Every structure is written in structure tokens, then in C-alpha cells.
Amino acid sequence: MRLGFAGTPEFAAVALRALLAAGHQVELVLTQPDRAAGRGLAVRPSAVKELAQAAGLRLLQPATLRDAVVQEEIRASRLEALIVAAYGLILPQAVLDLPRWGCINIHASLLPRWRGAAPIQRAILAGDRETGISIMQMDAGLDSGPVLLAAGQAIRDDDTAASLHDRLATQGAELVVKVLERLPLPGWPQPQSGVTHAAKIGKAEAMLDWRLAAELLARQVRAFNPQPGASCVLNGKALKVWTARPVVGSGSPGLIIGAAHDGLLIACGEGALCVEEVQQAGGRRLAVAQFLNGTAVPVGSRCAVATG
């Protein structure tokens, strides 16, 4: 098919690779403008841009799709469908109406649960046992259009946002190729019940509140790995927590009740969190055994407890 593609991060790049491998003619690729990223805040191209350039595809990086010139570029491409995956820009109705089969979105949840920007992280945070991929016919709403094809994906006890992301990206790429093989497909309207919204993750959410149950904090650690990384303040210094699990234990929230090579044991509002991998500001990720070799963390010291 004669396709357009709109996407930005690696999740989208996986789908674009699959479309190219399936023999589709990708006439136009849309991705967000280059932005500063990483510790040095260097301006970097998106994963989709790198792939599009390597494949010699026509590329646009508009700041908005409401621009008449951009809309004319899309119209002139005579697309049969525009595939959208984690693009990050709103598609106005004028763009939704351009392709023959409309705009088709790859969304990382079983809609209508977790509409919005951060469905993978929100599913882990909520303790969901299953998520999945929905291939959706886009309309003017937020992830509210009819679903063309969907498939579930189990959430494992040790899944991080990174590991779940990778499985969902592969699944989404496979499903969108199947959808294109079967067009036109009748979509089924999303039910009005069961709608939840996956708001974008804010940095303030990453701070661990030791007054919460250890199970909730362990989910937070997994959901925010790799971005933005769960964090706490230990002995007055910021510390990112990359790997942790809930265990039996008790004490005042934030109290260090154990410090051994297999983990730091920190009391929570309910139970305790065994922290196994950490990172100090400006440092690298370390197993707790390595961290304790260079940093004294005596039992009885504590992590700061959030206020408010």
C-alpha cells in the first residue's frame, strides 16, 4: 500500500521497520522536531528520523499539523493510509480525512483502558495483570476511535516499562501489518464503560513516598524504569532506584532496617522495599553491593519522607 507514517520514539520505529519489511511503499514520514536529550542536552534526532534517513524516505518534521503547507504535502502524497505510532502531535480533522483509509493508530493498551500518553507506565503502576495493543481508526478524540484489531499481552511480575515496551512494540508492528492486509476492516466502537486516562508521567511522580506500601513503591520503580527513574533522598543526597522488590519488614517509613550486599532494606508504610540497584547523581548504575563498598549506609539511617 501507499502509506504515510507518523511517529517519533523507538516504539514507532519498530512499526516502521515492519511496514518496510512487508513491502509497503512509505511515501512520507512525519516525526517531531529534533530536541535536546540526555545528560549533555545535545540535540538528537528521533529514532524514526534516523530510520527514515537510513531508508531514504521523504521526511517532514513540522511543529504542528495545522499548517496548510504541511497538509498540502500530505495531500499531494496520495496516501492510502497514514499509520500513527507514538507521534506526539495532534492530528486535526483535515489530516484525518486525507488518506483513503484514514489514519490508523497503534496504541499500547487494550482500549478503552489507558487512553493517552503513558499507557505502559500507567498499567504497571495500577498493578494490571494484562495490557496489549489496539489498532485503532483515529477520530478527533483522544484514542477514542473504533478498534480494528486488538491482542493482549501479560504483564510479568518483573516487567519494567522498558521490557514491556519492547514486547508491545513488536506486537504492535505485527498487528498493524495484519490490519493493512485485511483492509477495509469493520471497527468496533469502544465501550463507554471502563475508560481510563494515562496521563503523561511527571517528574514529581518519580519521588518515592515511603509512607506508601512496599508493593506500590516496587511498581513505581518498575514503571519509571528507564524514564524518569524512581528516586529518593538518602543522607541528604539524591539517589535513583532502578531495581527493587517488596519484602516482609517493618519500621518507621524511610528507615534503613537492613544494609547487606543483596540489598538495602527500607521500611515503608506497609512492608519493606529491598533496593537492589541504585545510581547517585552524576554516577553510573550500581548493584547495591558495589554502592555499599563506597558509601556507608548504617542501619538506623533513613531516607527522607516526602511532605504534603
Per residue in 130-183, pLDDT tens? 999 999 999 999 999 999 999 999 999 999 999 999 999 999 999 999 999 999
Give 105-121 pLDDT, tens digit per residue. 999 999 999 999 999 99
Rounded distance between C-alpha atoms, residue 100 and residue 111, angstroms: 24
Reply yes or no on whether the pLDDT at 307 is more than 70.
no
pLDDT at 35: 85
Mean pLDDT of the chain: 95
User: Do 123 and 141 sit in the same domain of this protein?
Assistant: yes
User: Do 236 and 191 sit in the same domain of this protein?
Assistant: no
Distance from CA of residue 283 to its chain's centroid? 24
Question: Contact at 8 Å (CB) between 44 and 31?
Answer: no
**Inside any domain, residue 101:** yes
User: Do 209 and 114 sit in the same domain of this protein?
Assistant: no
pLDDT at 203: 86
User: Do 88 and 172 sit in the same domain of this protein?
Assistant: yes
> What's the pLDDT band for 76 if we cut at 50, 70, 90?
very high
Which of 197, 212, 241 is the endpoint of a domain?
Answer: 197
User: Do 6 and 135 sit in the same domain of this protein?
Assistant: yes
CATH number at residue 143: 3.40.50.170
> What's the pLDDT band for 20 if we cut at 50, 70, 90?
very high
User: Do 40 and 130 sit in the same domain of this protein?
Assistant: yes
User: Do 248 and 127 sit in the same domain of this protein?
Assistant: no
Reply yes or no on whether the pLDDT at 308 is more than 70.
no
pLDDT at 40: 65
Which of 161, 177, 197 is the endpoint of a domain?
Answer: 197
User: Do 161 and 215 sit in the same domain of this protein?
Assistant: no
Give 201-236 pLDDT, tens digit per residue. 988 899 999 999 999 999 999 999 999 999 999 988
Residue 20: half-sphere exposure toward Cβ, Cα within 13 Å:
18
Rounded distance between C-alpha atoms, residue 206 and residue 225, angstroms: 10
pLDDT at 43: 84
Which of 197, 227, 243 is the endpoint of a domain?
Answer: 197
Residue with cell 483535515: 94
pLDDT at 132: 98
Domain count, the chain: 2
User: Do 111 and 157 sit in the same domain of this protein?
Assistant: yes
User: Do 234 and 186 sit in the same domain of this protein?
Assistant: no
Q: Which one has a higher pLDDT value, 212 or 261?
A: 212
What mean pLDDT is predicted for residues 271-283? 95
- 3-state SS, residue 10: helix
The residue segments making up the domain with residue 286 are 203-294
Q: Which one has a higher pLDDT value, 144 or 38?
A: 144
